[in-house]
Structure 1
Amino acid sequence: MLLDGKVVASEKMERLKSEIKGIIEKYGIEPELKLIQVGNDPASTIYANSKIKRGTKLGINVTLEKFDNITMGKLVDYIKDANANSRINGIMVESPLPPSLNFQEVVDNISFYKDTDGMTSFNQGNLYTKNEMIAPATARAVVDILEYYKIQPGNACIINRSAVVGRPLAMLLLNRDYTVTLCHSKTVDIKRIARENNVLVVAIGKPDYIDESYVTSESTVIDVGINYSGNKISGDVNFDSVSNKAKNITPVPGGVGIVTATDIFENFLNGLKYQIKEKLI
């Protein structure tokens, strides 16, 4: 079965749009998400513009603050000012940052309730105690797809150990009673491990790398990878090879990516609700 992310994202967009409209009408506020970009990375600019468009559809004012170059001290000061500004309800730092700026050190200055990307150490740590108010959007998107298509919890193999995907996703799946195995470049016999798990999540940045030898007829395959080659977009999974064997699979594009783009605003909404509840705005 094709696990179509467009369907998942569309239904979530309608729910978010309705909730945000209700908040605007009830409290008379104009929700704002502040994006921060340092440098001129083309992909970063594309993603920022995509968030601006999606935010407009939801009734959220998404603004981009772009710096050609900036010191760590001045960037931290800017973030602290945004934290203190009650009119700004969410903050996201676009990646990559220049080598002179450490991404984790930068984002850890964002107030946890304005951390729309879910990347602060505080919000990452919250996942260990089943507090999922704000979680990394890609990890949340994988869970959303599994739950939407009613994939029963079982054993899950994640080929990725980053703070963006693998580690937070492991916690989210553990919170849902999965038995989780994290694999990475140093793992021995990944193919065998992958086949022994009924859910396989792949995020390795290698186009079409995972073939049918990694799966069985009972496998549900979630392809997180997005790789560009000219005008072609492909995942980390060889779709033609694996889809003929696996039970379920996500496409690329149209799978995890579009749900991730929506889940960013799920985080924003959850943070906004917290700010209203705590009378921070």
Structure 2
Amino acid sequence: MIQPHQAGPDQLAFQQYRTLLFSVAYRLLGSAADAEDVVQDAWFKWSAADRSQVADPKAYLTRIISNLAMERLRSTRRQRETYVGPWLPEPILTGPDTADGVASADSVSMALLVVLETLSPLERAVFVLKEVFAFSYGEIAEAVERSESAVRQAGHRAREHVQARRPRYPGDRARRRDVTERFLAAATGGDLNTLMELLSPGVTLWTDGGGKVRQALKPVVGLETVARWFAALGTMSYQGVEPGQMRAELTSVNGGPGVVFRGPDRVIATLTFDFDPEGRISAIHNVANPDKLQAITDGIRYELR
């Protein structure tokens, strides 16, 4: 990252919008590593541009990052067609600023990012720029280099699709954290009865091992099945780590309460949660693919817009 005190005017302008650029790219790609790559590519394009012709650096940089991210998304989607088991986004540690903004936190939730995966690259870009960052359709049309009419149509399709697949239950954040704490205590203590109280009847567990570590290759569905899965945590080894060697930490992951599991020498997995209208856990996303845990391992905590 460029340090402001070392930067020239062009670097300062880029640095001013770097958080925005990463925030857009991560929501478009679902990968912190890919988002960092396209932000770096955006810097190279910005450095080579004739900035005397740039009237609005924010709009110019948003156009660069949107098109780079859409191009990367088209490429990575072909790779994901052969992915082993469910594909989940790369989890990130988020700061209190993200957690304080309900809309911002929801827009980086694992549940929403999974739904965004089902959109086309254009629909995803339009949805993110309009619904998360409040760009006008005219601004988005310029950013994605499409007509305003095409952008409006893409935005309408995306919004309907997301609303159908991602009902929002804002709930109370303190209650969500309390439920997560109780879930973690019950899972590590093998308390099946409490787990069944905290889980929604139709709860679904998604596990992403990417073929690198052993995980369920299909979603695990149903109250009793999911409850028994987690009740066994305190009695069975997980990825070669015995229960006594495993540490579970409650922290902020993707804008909400999450759990990071650590062994003696590595991060093993993360858990994030979605909740139903009654505040029970309706979905659990378990990322165990080591390729997606590097940012967690490095302790990078992202500030997002």
What TM-score bracket applies, with the shorter chain setting the length? Answer: under 0.3
TM-score in terms of structure 2 length: 0.25
TM-score in terms of structure 1 length: 0.27
Greater C-alpha radius of gyration: 2
Of Structure 1 and Structure 2, the greater helix share is in 2
